[in-house]
């Protein structure tokens, strides 16, 4: 009988980038993924499309699936010959009940592998600027569960350590405070609670054993959070980095990105590096054409074109796919000059070993046309590699200037409504600060997807940022007059406009 392996994988404390390389490998190759509530949603994008995902999330007093049933599920799936990734928050052996699951597998003859994870006991304080140890301040630390099996009280006989980290202890905070005071800790002992540590929802409340209960109540802080007790808490004043609005100027801002998912990574990354919480709501997606007759014919006779103009990064990607399909590579473009409509397109070309010979001063079709015409295009043969849909300005102006233009659609754009409900709910709750638009189609598709009446009713709830003047004009014409417009059509320029206006 073929028996699969159970991988007990620590997903880390919340930031999806903190999963280990081995953890991501196990996640990406598993037939079945069994995951908890505190798993970063982005991690599930690494799961194979044909893999089964089973949610068994748990929180205090509410279990989607009891532990004994989770144990049985892991064994059942493995005995069916499947590779099972048991994805657990933090580290599987730090109050993660990974030991119970491993022992159950062992008892039933199922092989298992432990993949340690970054524990929230260390990571969440670190993201709050609190080291759990520090020379001359704390030479020892202990990690303690915030409640015992009955979910009522902290454990008795608390350990003696310079720093104590309590996991899952928010509800038991008053009893923890009393226990620490009874143990001899001074009323002035610093305390911090870190909620949703390592994520852009991170919330930190600091105080002392004397004040912390009131501090937490005033902050309305709720689980999940951990408690850090000890002098190291005072170091947050100097070491606060992750939730620091000075070094991360978009901290606390929730920003909707409407850019196509396959193009959004650079913008999302840049916003997150500056502290923003990003909600992806792609309104368009790129899809290959059913027939590539025109572009394939153009690729067969590329040496006959003086210029090849790429109007988007997607155009580069899909054109490159057809180039490779024809058994060719970058050398096929050696006789042509290459134009990119903007920095993102230029980068897409560079990633494939192609240097753009021309980049316009402003990334709009009108400027591309004017500046190409200034170089002399009369009698030149120009290939436009772009989407099936799009503005005709560039083609028309080049023809008027005497160029012979071949329009070669490489892909088409379709409406993407994959995360519309989440975006609508966030706007309705007043949780969104900005909505960003990277093209005119993202504006109109966003309005159509969420509903024009809905957006009109909630327009005062968020601000609008646009990547360029054409997009800004479309937004304004549709009742979304922009509050910020990038000075140039690039991701960094858009982020700079957001920083300047926030």
- The structural domain count of the chain equals 4
Owning domain of residue 139: 122-239
Map tokens 């979910």 to a residue.
151
Do the beta carbons of residue 462 and residue 435 sit within 8 Å? Answer: yes
The two tokens of residue 182 are 């009874």
Asked, for residue 233, whether it belongs to a domain, the answer is yes
* 314 and 359 housed in the same domain: yes
Decide the pairing of beta strands 254-257 and 277-280. parallel
Q: How far is residue 275's CA from residue 217's CA, in Å, rounded to a whole number?
A: 26
Q: Among 314, 359, 308, which residue's Cα sits nearest to residue 330? A: 308
Question: Cβ neighbours of residue 442 under 8 Å, at least 6 residues apart?
Answer: 258, 259, 283, 284, 471
* Predicted confidence (pLDDT) at residue 86 exceeds the cutoff of 80: yes
One domain for residues 450 and 496: yes
Considering only 14-18, 255-259, 289-293, which range has the smallest mean pLDDT?
289-293
Question: CA separation (Å) from 473 to 26, 88, 457, 479?
Answer: 47, 47, 21, 10
Can you read off the two tokens belonging to residue 361?
A: 């001063």
pLDDT above 70 coverage of the chain, percent: 96
249 in any annotated domain = no
**pTM value?**
0.80
Mean pLDDT of 425-446: 93
pLDDT (0 to 100) of residue 113: 98
For 92, 151, 455, the CA distances from 61, given in Å and listed in that order, are 20, 8, 38
In a domain, 54, yes or no: yes
The pairing of beta strand 381-387 with beta strand 484-485: unpaired
Structural domain includes residue 246: no
Cα separation, 497 vs 342, in Å, equals: 17
84 with 74: CB under 8 angstroms? yes
Residues 4 and 78: beta-carbon distance below 8 Å? yes
Looking at 101, 118, 135, the residue that finishes a domain is 118
Same domain flag for 15 and 111: yes
Residue with tokens 């004043």: 237
Question: Which of 60-74, 247-261, 287-301, 379-393 shows the lowest mean pLDDT across its residues?
Answer: 60-74
Which residue in this structure is represented by tokens 């569960």?
145
Quick one: 18 and 112 in the same domain?
A: yes
Is 499 a residue whose pLDDT tops 70? yes
205, 192 in Cβ contact below 8 A? yes
User: How far is residue 87's CA from residue 8's CA, in Å, rounded to a whole number?
Assistant: 6
The sheet that has 190-195: what strands, in order across it?
A: 141-145, 163-167, 225-229, 190-195, 203-208
SS3 string of 60-123? CCEECCCHHHHHHHHHHHHHCCCCEEEEECECCCCCCCHHHHHHHHHHCCCCEEEECCCCHHHH
Same domain, 113 and 223: no
How far from 448 is each of 30, 211, 358, 451, CA to CA, in Å?
38, 50, 35, 5
CB within 8 Å of 90: residues ≥ 6 apart: 10, 11, 12, 13, 38, 96, 117, 118, 119, 120, 121
Q: Is residue 90 located within the same domain as residue 147?
A: no
Three-state DSSP at 138 gives strand
- Taking all residues of the chain, what is their mean pLDDT, rounded to a whole number? 91
Domain boundary at 85, 118, 151, which? 118
Q: Please state, for a pLDDT cut of 90, what percent of the chain lies above it.
A: 75
Q: How many residues are recorded in the chain?
A: 502
Q: Which residues are catalytic, by number?
A: 36, 58, 168
- Distance in angstroms (rounded) separating the CA atoms of residues 473 and 260: 20
Region 255-263 average pLDDT: 84
CATH number at residue 43: 3.40.1010.10
Same-domain status, 214 and 155: yes
Q: Per-residue pLDDT tens for 301-330?
A: 998 999 999 988 889 999 999 999 999 999
| CB within 8 Å of 395: residues ≥ 6 apart | 384, 405, 407
State whether 304 and 338 are in the same domain: yes
Q: How confident is the model at residue 151 (pLDDT cuts 50, 70, 90)?
A: low
Beta strand spans in 421-477 (E):
434-437, 463-466
> Helix (H, G, I), strand (E, B), or coil: what is residue 134?
strand
- Helical ranges in 430-488 per DSSP H: 440-450, 452-457, 469-477
Q: Is residue 56 part of a domain?
A: yes
Residue 12 tokens, joined: 């880390």
Query: Which two structure tokens, joined as six digits, stand for 170?
Result: 């928010």
Query: In this predicted model, which residue has the larger pLDDT, 477 or 147?
Result: 477
Tell me how crowded residue 29 is: count the other CB atoms within 10 A of its CB. Answer: 14
* Together in a domain, 350 and 376: yes
Same domain, 173 and 221: yes
Assigned domain for 245 exists: no
Backbone phi, then psi, for 143, in 5-degree steps? -115, 125
Average pLDDT over residues 412-425: 87
248 within a domain of the structure (yes/no): no
CATH code of the domain covering residue 332: 3.40.50.10090
406 with 353, same domain?
yes
**DSSP 3-state assignment of 436?**
strand
Q: What is the pLDDT of residue 206?
A: 98
* Cα gap 424→446, rounded to integer Å: 10
Say if CB 277 and CB 308 are below 8 A apart.
no
Q: Taking a C-beta distance cutoff of 8 angstroms, is the pair 221, 240 a contact? A: no
Tokens of 80: 């069916």
pLDDT confidence of residue 416: 81
Least trusted range by pLDDT, from 76-85, 206-215, 230-239, 467-476: 467-476
- Residue 283's pLDDT band (boundaries 50, 70, 90)? confident
Range from 77-91, 294-308, 317-331, 410-424 carrying the lowest mean pLDDT: 410-424
Same-domain check for residues 274 and 420: yes
pLDDT mean over 230-237:
98
Any domain includes 247: no
Predicted confidence (pLDDT) per residue in 8-52, tens digit: 999 999 999 999 999 999 999 999 999 998 787 789 989 999 999
């Amino acid at each position: 009988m073929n028996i699969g392996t159970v991988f007990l994988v620590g997903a880390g404390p919340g930031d999806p980038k903190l999963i280990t390389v081995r953890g991501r490998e196990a996640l990406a190759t598993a037939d079945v993924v069994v995951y908890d509530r505190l798993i970063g949603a982005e991690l599930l994008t690494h799961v194979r499309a044909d893999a089964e995902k089973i949610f068994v999330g748990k929180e205090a007093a509410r279990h989607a699936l009891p532990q004994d049933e989770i144990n049985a599920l892991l064994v059942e799936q493995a005995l069916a010959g499947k590779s099972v990734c048991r994805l657990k928050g933090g580290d599987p052996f730090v109050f993660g009940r990974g030991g119970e699951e491993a022992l159950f597998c062992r008892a039933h003859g199922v092989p298992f592998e432990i993949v340690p994870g970054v524990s929230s006991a260390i990571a969440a304080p670190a993201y709050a600027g609190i080291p759990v140890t520090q020379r001359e301040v704390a030479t020892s630390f202990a990690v303690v569960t915030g409640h015992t099996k009955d979910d009522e009280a902290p454990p008795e006989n608390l350990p003696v350590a310079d720093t104590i980290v309590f996991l899952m202890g928010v509800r038991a905070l008053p009893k923890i405070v009393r226990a620490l005071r009874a143990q001899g800790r001074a009323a002035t002992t610093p305390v911090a609670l870190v909620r949703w540590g390592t994520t852009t929802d991170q919330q930190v409340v600091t105080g002392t054993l004397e004040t912390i209960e009131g501090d937490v109540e005033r902050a309305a802080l709720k689980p999940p959070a951990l408690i850090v007790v000890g002098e190291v808490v005072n170091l947050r004043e100097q070491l606060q980095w992750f939730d620091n609005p000075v070094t991360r100027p978009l901290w606390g801002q929730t920003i909707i990105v409407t850019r196509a998912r396959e193009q959004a990574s650079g913008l999302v990354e840049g916003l997150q590096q500056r502290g923003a919480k990003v909600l992806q709501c792609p309104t368009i997606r790129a899809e290959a054409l059913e027939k590539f007759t025109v572009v394939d014919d153009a690729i067969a006779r590329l040496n006959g074109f003086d210029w090849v103009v790429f109007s988007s990064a997607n155009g580069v990607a899909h054109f490159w796919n057809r180039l490779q399909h024809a058994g060719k590579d970058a050398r096929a473009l050696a006789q042509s000059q290459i134009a990119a409509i903007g920095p993102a397109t230029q980068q897409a070309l560079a990633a494939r070993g192609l240097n753009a010979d021309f980049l316009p001063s402003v990334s709009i079709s009108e400027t591309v046309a004017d500046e190409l015409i200034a170089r002399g295009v009369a009698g030149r043969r120009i290939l436009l590699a772009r989407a099936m849909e799009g503005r005709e300005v560039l083609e028309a102006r080049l023809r008027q200037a005497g160029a012979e233009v071949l329009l070669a659609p490489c892909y088409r754009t379709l409406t993407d409504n994959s995360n519309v409900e989440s975006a609508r709910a966030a706007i309705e709750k007043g949780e969104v600060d900005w909505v960003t638009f990277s093209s005119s189609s993202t504006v109109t598709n966003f309005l159509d997807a969420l509903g024009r009446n809905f957006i009109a009713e909630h327009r005062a709830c968020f601000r609008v940022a646009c990547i360029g003047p054409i997009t800004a004009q479309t937004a304004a014409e549709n009742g979304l007059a922009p509050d910020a417009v990038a000075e140039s059509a690039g991701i960094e320029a858009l982020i700079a406009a957001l920083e300047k206006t926030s």
